[in-house]
């Protein structure tokens, strides 16, 4: 494991992205448990890549959720429901990952669902340049149905207790004294953490990720870059 500052990590990740060669947009997965810091890292990395002149496409798993009735059909606290029922992986591939892949036409959409209104989205189709970078953050991205859709994969490793602490702090920051930290803990203990344990058992994401980032300490991360010759796909 290498250790350094936040800027060191971002520089190293940008270096890995810059050295990856494809003849289509580079599809980068940023995976990890909820509250691991995936969205923050993707947003920070986007800024770094923009300064290097790269066009970045940002997308998140939140834009590919199934409607609430479907994703909670096994119950609000079902770990199996979180893993099996929550995400529209077919739509992810059809409108985003495959169009940006080696046989795609680079015409894509970044979301099909709006969480706040629990409604489908019909975004206009955009066209990506061949040297664009897709930064896609979310959970369960290295499961068997998606593993071959990524050209580079990053896994954010954080202890489950640390993710719960962050989720409760985030809830308090957003809702103030009205935040129900007991409800957050119940969701974490019954749904989110067990679904991640199911994911680790079924998909072994840390065995497949090109880069592992230990993000327990936000300003002092550690990371491991593994050989990923399979990144160079045409």
Q: What is d(CA 11, CA 45) in angstroms, rounded to the nearest whole number? A: 9
pLDDT of res. 120:
95
CB 58 within 8 A of CB 46: yes
Q: At what angle do helices 193-203 and 160-175 cross, to 10 degrees?
A: 140
Residue ranges and CATH numbers for the domains of the chain are 2-222 (3.40.50.300)
> Is beta strand 26-31 parallel, antiparallel or unpaired with respect to 133-137?
parallel
pLDDT tens per residue, range 39-75: 999 999 999 999 999 999 999 999 999 999 999 999 9
Q: What percent of the chain has pLDDT over 70?
A: 93
Strand-pairing partners, residue 58, are 135
Q: What is d(CA 137, CA 147) in angstroms, rounded to the nearest whole number? A: 14
**pTM (predicted TM-score):** 0.93
CB 48 within 8 A of CB 135: no
Low-confidence ranges of the chain (pLDDT < 70): 172-179, 228-234
pLDDT of res. 173:
61
pLDDT of res. 228:
64
DSSP characters over 159-187: -HHHHHHHHHHHHHHHHGGG--HHHHHHH
pLDDT tens per residue, range 69-101: 999 999 999 999 999 999 999 999 999 999 999
pLDDT of res. 169:
86
pLDDT of res. 94:
98
Q: What is d(CA 73, CA 69) in angstroms, rounded to the nearest whole number? A: 6
pLDDT of res. 178:
52
Q: What is d(CA 31, CA 24) in angstroms, rounded to the nearest whole number? A: 21
Residue 215 contacts by C-beta under 8 Å, 6 or more apart in sequence?
32, 36, 37, 41, 156, 157, 158, 221
pLDDT of res. 231:
39
What sections of 5-103 are H helices per DSSP? 6-19, 38-51, 68-71, 79-84, 89-92
């Amino acid at each position: 494991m290498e250790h350094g500052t936040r800027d060191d990590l971002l520089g190293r990740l940008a270096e890995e992205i810059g050295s990856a060669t494809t003849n289509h947009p580079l599809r980068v997965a940023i995976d990890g448990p909820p509250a691991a810091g995936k969205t923050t890292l993707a947003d920070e990395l986007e800024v770094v890549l923009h300064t290097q002149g790269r066009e970045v496409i940002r997308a998140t798993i939140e834009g590919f959720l199934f409607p609430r009735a479907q994703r909670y059909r096994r119950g609000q606290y079902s770990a199996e429901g979180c893993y099996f029922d929550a995400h529209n992986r077919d739509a992810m591939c059809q409108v985003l990952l495959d169009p940006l892949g080696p046989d795609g036409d680079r015409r894509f959409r970044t979301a099909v669902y709006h969480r706040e209104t629990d409604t489908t989205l019909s975004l206009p189709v955009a066209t990506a340049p061949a040297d664009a970078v897709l930064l896609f953050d979310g959970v369960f991205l290295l499961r068997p149905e998606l593993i071959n859709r990524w050209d580079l994969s990053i896994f954010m490793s954080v202890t489950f207790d640390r993710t719960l602490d962050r989720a409760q702090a985030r809830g308090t920051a957003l809702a103030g004294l009205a935040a129900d930290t007991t409800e957050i803990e119940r969701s974490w203990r019954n749904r989110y953490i067990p679904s991640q344990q199911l994911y680790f058992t079924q998909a072994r994401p840390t065995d497949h990720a090109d880069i592992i980032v230990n993000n327990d300490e936000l300003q002092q991360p550690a990371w491991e870059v593994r050989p990923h010759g399979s990144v160079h796909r045409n």
